[in-house]
Amino acid sequence: MADQFPELKPAARILLGPGPSNVHPRVMKAMASPVVGHLDPDFVKVMEDIKRMLRIVFRTENEITFPVSGTGSAGMETVMANLIEDGDEVVTGVHGVFGTRLAESAGRLGARVHKVEADWGRVIEPAQIEAALKAAKNPKLVAIVHAETSTGIHQPIEEISELAHRYGAMFAIDAVTSLGCVPVEIDQWKIDACYSCTQKGIGAPPGLSPVTFGPRAMESIRKRKTKCRSWYFDVALIEQYWGPDRLYHHTAPITMNYALYEALRIVIEEGLETRWRRHRANAAAFQAGARGMGLELAAQEGYRLPQLSTIAVPAGIDEMKVRAALLRLFNIEIAGGLGPLKGKIWRVGLMGEGSRRENVMLILNALEEILGSMGFEIARGRALSAADRAYIAQGLGVGEPPSGD
């Protein structure tokens, strides 16, 4: 009977999509550590260190900072379910799949949702948010995606945070694709609540969602008129497990917390500023190389994510065949578009451990070869030359890796 189910041997892919990204060997080694109880003294020490390291990465002093047991979507549910009660007015930014999810989540929780929309691939302007805040009678929350994974847009948020607070609302952001890749300044930008994930910029496998709640958010949670609709994601309960009381709430995924612990150690060893600089350098080179071979970038100029580039599929090219060829010939995974961008773009991720100069050159060379074989006119070698020039323009010589590699 056992012969029907062979030993697990998944391929070791080069993950250059929107996540998950490749994982450092140190993180994989940490996951092989002995499993202990969820209240074992050794694990409690791990929990405390994870909270301390997450505060460093979130750039916050928030006491209520911990990893939710679940993926990034669990973090979204945690933030929204704890901050929203029936009838609350919530302003949500919608300019992609994950902004749409924010609005859907708020609506399911009984909020009166004011959706502020922009074309996919463009930012939401602060004036649009202010108009929605003016239209609301008593806005409680503004929620927006910082790094829109479906479009490659890097949404400016500082002015929107100021507007939210001016109108008496809290401000929450989705940092699923931004934390560990680009600046996320929780305290400086006065963000009241934020959630992220482990499998992108942090560099661990998927399975946990780091969250942080500021004083205004916690005051709101403690003054709720009704209980949080989710028992599992109720911060008032979870904080008693992650806090000094250590009251049993659920069995934390021990091995995933080991992974997060080691991934955060790697982030802090590299240094946040150095890590952000590495992502910018590799993105600049990749995007220059893509343009060099005649491809167009899909996201709004000036607001493109360094960790996730969106490339417009050229006319006459079957985007699924290109992705299949990348996987078959080069062992590289990238992603296609979602929603209205399905079939129209590729999403290429250079995040966390995957943001490396050798990956930039590999994906450019692979795209050049595959697209050329499909009839797309390319001057061979132009992409790699453009990428090298971009590195040199940033003070990096030919073959010299960005800091942190």
Residue 19 maps to a domain: no
pLDDT of residue 396: 78
End residue of a domain, out of 224, 246, 268 = 268
Distance CA 373, CA 222 (A): 61
CA angle centred on 283, ends 371 and 352, rounded to 5°: 110
Distances in Å between the alpha carbon of 268 and those of 59, 209, 261, 264, 404?
12, 18, 11, 6, 11
Residue 13 maps to a domain: no
Distance CA 207, CA 125 (A): 33
Distance CA 367, CA 15 (A): 15
For residue 197, give every residue at least 6 positions away whose Cβ sits within 8 Å of its Cβ, in sequence order, or none: 19, 71, 72, 75, 176, 179, 206, 208, 209, 210
Residue 12 maps to a domain: no
* Residues 68 and 180 grouped into a single domain: yes
Q: What is the CA radius of gyration of the chain?
A: 22
End residue of a domain, out of 217, 233, 268 = 268
Determine if the peptide bond prior to 156 is cis (ω within 30°): no
* Residues 151 and 250 grouped into a single domain: yes
Residue 343 sits in a domain whose CATH number is: 3.90.1150.10
Give the total number of structural domains in the chain. 2
Question: Phi and psi at residue 335, in whole multiples of 5°?
Answer: -125, 160
* Residues 343 and 231 grouped into a single domain: no
**Residue 32 domain boundaries:** 25-268
* Residues 243 and 210 grouped into a single domain: yes
Q: Indicate the angle between helix axes 272-292 and 357-373, nearest 10 degrees.
A: 20
Residue 125 sits in a domain whose CATH number is: 3.40.640.10
Residue 405 maps to a domain: no
* Residues 95 and 181 grouped into a single domain: yes
* Residues 290 and 342 grouped into a single domain: yes
- Closest to 130 measured CA to CA, from 100, 165, 99: 165
Read off the tokens for 358.
């050798």
Residue 4 maps to a domain: no
Distances in Å between the alpha carbon of 331 and those of 22, 103, 310, 324, 355?
13, 36, 20, 10, 16
* Residues 195 and 300 grouped into a single domain: no
Residue 204 maps to a domain: yes
Residue 52 maps to a domain: yes
* Residues 132 and 249 grouped into a single domain: yes
End residue of a domain, out of 242, 268, 294 = 268
pLDDT along the chain (405 residues), means of 10: 84 96 97 96 96 98 98 98 98 98 97 98 98 97 98 98 98 98 98 98 98 98 96 96 92 97 98 97 97 96 98 96 98 97 97 97 96 88 92 78 60
* Residues 82 and 187 grouped into a single domain: yes
